[in-house]
Amino acid sequence: MSNRLFAQAQQSFSVGDAAATERYCRKVLESDPEHADAWHLLGIVHLKRGARAEAIRFIGRSVELEPRQPQALTNLGNALRDLRRLDEALASFDRAIALVPDFAEAHLYRGNTLFDLERYREACDSFERARRLKPGDVRILDNLGLAYRMVGEADQAVQLHRQALQLQPQNADVHNHLATALCDQGQFAEGLACFQQALRLRPQFPGAFYQLGVALANQGRFEEAMQCFAQALRLRPDWELPTMGLGTSLSFLGRFDEGYHWYERALRMRPDWAECKYNMGTSLLGRGDYAAGWPLYEWRLDDPKNRHKPKLDRRWDGGPLEGKRLLIRSEQGLGDALQFVRYAALCKARGATVIVACYPPLRSLFENCDYIDEVVVDAPAGGYDLQIEMMSLPYRFGTTLQDVPAAVPYLKTNAEARRKWAPRFAGVAAPRIGLVWAGNPREHDLAASRIDVRRSMKLEQMKPLLEVEGARFYNLQFGAKAAELDECGLRGRLTDYMSEVEDYLDTAAIIENLDLVIAVDTSVVHAAGGLGKPVWVLSRHDACWRWLRNQERNPWYPSARVFGQTTAGDWAGVVERVRQALQATIRRTGANSCLETVTDP
């Protein structure tokens, strides 16, 4: 009896009659409550309706009755993923794969779940396994391209999306994804054409509007980006991504109150969204509201991108430090460590024995800090009582805009480094000026790479500074971008010692012998500021939060002066203002003297 009824359920399902399928399944279960296949099919009907909680209950019951069902486990995983119960979904796909290792669908959906968890490299591995099993599957090619893009391999992403389009030229989703990957490569014109093709194929396509908005925002074109985010929300009003996009764009435009409204709206849609809370925090910090900003900035630690980082045990909560061994862990970039290491002095003043775990290039420089008792590169497994992330220290100390610990210098070199570098500058009476025009592109960190495109310039764009008479210029640019000295034919115009630099102690010793550093927003800025040296910061229009919307004076570095873009991408205007300021300062102080008043406006 139950077998006949179940056959009728299957027949109804095959012709798309969901109501009849459910009716027959329930009749089967009335006579045979342990009919695993009927529970599974009933779950699929509810999954197709979007009733995911019921689908999980029904398919879960099927798996309880018959655990060795790879298809049921895969369907259960998809229902769990739809409800963002991602760890449970991943476990369900893993169980399916353990039963049938060559189950391509399970590998595909496992990759999708890892992608949702922002474990992109692992997602690539799952999609690659699926592609080996089904090489002509457009979904697999497309999703693999998305994952490669997220690990910074845009060339591979573009290739995979193009392969998918060869199989399905009218697939609007793939055009959208190809457009995004091309923009990541810097091929914005071709990317824009692909976005337009996606929208021709599907004019009411919220995903394409959203991704186009992201691409425009990454170019600093926030007004245009906001129009795209608004279009995406018109088509899909409950979508949190473009909602946050509006918040971010408005904040970068300095419209903080409006941006805050959109952040709040996004969080009503997704209350536990760490990335949105972190972005809201940086927005508040950028407007100088440190009291509200630091607690939200802590949400960076819960961002899925940081899942690979273990939660700290014995984390310092701001309590007494007297007699405690405190391990401070560097995080984010070199510049962040150079800026926030100052808080080690405050910890020392509270009676702690201070251990700083830092990046290798900073070790020898930090070893000269009197307020640090021990410097390590690899954080020890033990030997400390408490530990804390370095960029959580402003929160622990309750830092406000009015009491930023800004006593400089808090960095210094040593006698050996000074003996090594001082003779190179002996007898140079003209003002000695160091230049940096580009940051570290960090090509395998997509978010950082996007920012670097906006914060960096070409050496060619700095050439007007080199025309200022009465100054001697020194190269402080390191990495691949230093090759522009030869490409622009300017190696003779800038004295270059960077090939002899071993780490940041050398860089700091060079800076000590300069009168002024002029640099885009890179770690060199923080080194110069921490050494108390005059530094002029050339900042992008959507400035990092620490530059307070490009206010000329900055509470973190008394010796800094900020020259911000007035419009996105306009380095020419910034360089011209710097050129005029430098020329005026040299006229005031004399071309044959040090620039003692170099930071005066």
User: Does residue 361 lie in a domain region?
Assistant: yes
Task: Report the share of the chain in percent with pLDDT over 90.
Answer: 78
pLDDT at residue 576 is higher than 60: yes
Provide the number of structural domains found in the chain.
2
**The predicted structure's pLDDT at residue 453:** 81
What is the pLDDT confidence band of residue 487, given thresholds at 50, 70 and 90? confident
**The predicted structure's pLDDT at residue 536:** 98
What is the pLDDT confidence band of residue 596, given thresholds at 50, 70 and 90? very low
257 vs 263: CA distance, rounded Å: 10
17 burial (CB, 10 Å; 0-12 / 13-18 / 19+) is middle
Beta bridge pairs of residue 520? 538
Percentage helix, strand, coil for the chain under 3-state DSSP, each rounded to 5:
60, 10, 35
Residues near 329 by beta carbon (within 8 Å), at least 6 away in sequence: 312, 357, 379, 387, 388, 389, 390
User: Does residue 600 lie in a domain region?
Assistant: no
Contact present, 62 and 40 (Cβ < 8 Å):
yes
pLDDT at residue 449 is higher than 80: no
pLDDT digits (tens, 9 = 90+) for 158-204: 999 999 999 999 999 999 999 999 998 889 899 999 999 999 999 99
**The predicted structure's pLDDT at residue 52:** 87
- Tell me, yes or no, whether 345 and 454 share the same domain: no
CATH at residue 433: 3.40.50.2000
Q: Kindly report which listed range (358-362, 478-482, 516-520, 522-526) carries the lowest average pLDDT score.
A: 478-482
**The predicted structure's pLDDT at residue 390:** 97
Q: Output 382 or 230, whichever has higher pLDDT.
A: 230
**The predicted structure's pLDDT at residue 1:** 63
- Tell me, yes or no, whether 484 and 555 share the same domain: yes
Q: Kindly report which listed range (165-179, 234-248, 468-482) carries the lowest average pLDDT score.
A: 468-482
**The predicted structure's pLDDT at residue 140:** 97
**The predicted structure's pLDDT at residue 243:** 97
What is the pLDDT confidence band of residue 443, given thresholds at 50, 70 and 90? low
Neighbouring CB atoms inside 10 A of 304's CB total 13
User: Does residue 255 lie in a domain region?
Assistant: no
Contact present, 515 and 599 (Cβ < 8 Å):
no
- Tell me, yes or no, whether 564 and 477 share the same domain: yes
**The predicted structure's pLDDT at residue 491:** 83
Structure tokens at 57: 């209950």
pLDDT at residue 287 is higher than 80: yes
User: Does residue 151 lie in a domain region?
Assistant: no
Contact present, 2 and 31 (Cβ < 8 Å):
yes
Mean pLDDT of the chain: 92
Beta bridge pairs of residue 357? 329, 376
pLDDT digits (tens, 9 = 90+) for 415-429: 999 999 999 999 888
pLDDT digits (tens, 9 = 90+) for 320-364: 999 999 999 999 889 999 999 999 999 999 999 999 999 999 999
Beta bridge pairs of residue 537? 519, 562
User: Does residue 527 lie in a domain region?
Assistant: yes
User: Does residue 564 lie in a domain region?
Assistant: yes
Helices (H) and strands (E) in the chain, counts: 29, 10
431: cis peptide before it, omega within 30°?
A: no
- Tell me, yes or no, whether 469 and 359 share the same domain: no
429 burial (CB, 10 Å; 0-12 / 13-18 / 19+) is exposed
Q: What average pLDDT does range 533-548 have in this prediction?
A: 94
User: Does residue 163 lie in a domain region?
Assistant: no
- Tell me, yes or no, whether 359 and 500 share the same domain: no
Residues near 231 by beta carbon (within 8 Å), at least 6 away in sequence: 206, 209
What is the pLDDT confidence band of residue 542, given thresholds at 50, 70 and 90? confident
Q: What average pLDDT does range 93-121 have in this prediction?
A: 95
- Tell me, yes or no, whether 441 and 518 share the same domain: yes
What is the pLDDT confidence band of residue 595, given thresholds at 50, 70 and 90? low
What is the pLDDT confidence band of residue 2, given thresholds at 50, 70 and 90? confident
pLDDT at residue 142 is higher than 80: yes
What is the pLDDT confidence band of residue 306, given thresholds at 50, 70 and 90? low
Q: List C-alpha distances in Å: 337 to 161, 392, 424.
A: 38, 12, 28
User: Does residue 89 lie in a domain region?
Assistant: no
What is the pLDDT confidence band of residue 250, given thresholds at 50, 70 and 90? very high
295 vs 122: CA distance, rounded Å: 31
Residue type (1 letter), 257 = D
Q: What average pLDDT does range 256-272 have in this prediction?
A: 93
- Tell me, yes or no, whether 582 and 445 share the same domain: yes
Neighbouring CB atoms inside 10 A of 551's CB total 12
**The predicted structure's pLDDT at residue 79:** 93
What is the pLDDT confidence band of residue 151, given thresholds at 50, 70 and 90? confident
Quote the domain boundaries for residue 364: 325-403
- Tell me, yes or no, whether 392 and 468 share the same domain: no
Q: What average pLDDT does range 408-421 have in this prediction?
A: 96
pLDDT at residue 598 is higher than 50: no
pLDDT at residue 464 is higher than 50: yes
150 vs 118: CA distance, rounded Å: 9
- Tell me, yes or no, whether 423 and 501 share the same domain: yes
Contact present, 568 and 221 (Cβ < 8 Å):
yes
**The predicted structure's pLDDT at residue 446:** 61
- Tell me, yes or no, whether 459 and 396 share the same domain: no
Residues near 371 by beta carbon (within 8 Å), at least 6 away in sequence: 344, 345, 347, 348, 349, 354, 410
pLDDT digits (tens, 9 = 90+) for 170-179: 999 999 999 9
- Using only C-alpha atoms, what is the Rg of the chain? 29
- Tell me, yes or no, whether 348 and 497 share the same domain: no
Residues near 218 by beta carbon (within 8 Å), at least 6 away in sequence: 183, 450, 453, 454
- Tell me, yes or no, whether 482 and 383 share the same domain: no
Closest listed residue to residue 131, CA positions, set 84, 86, 163, 177: 163
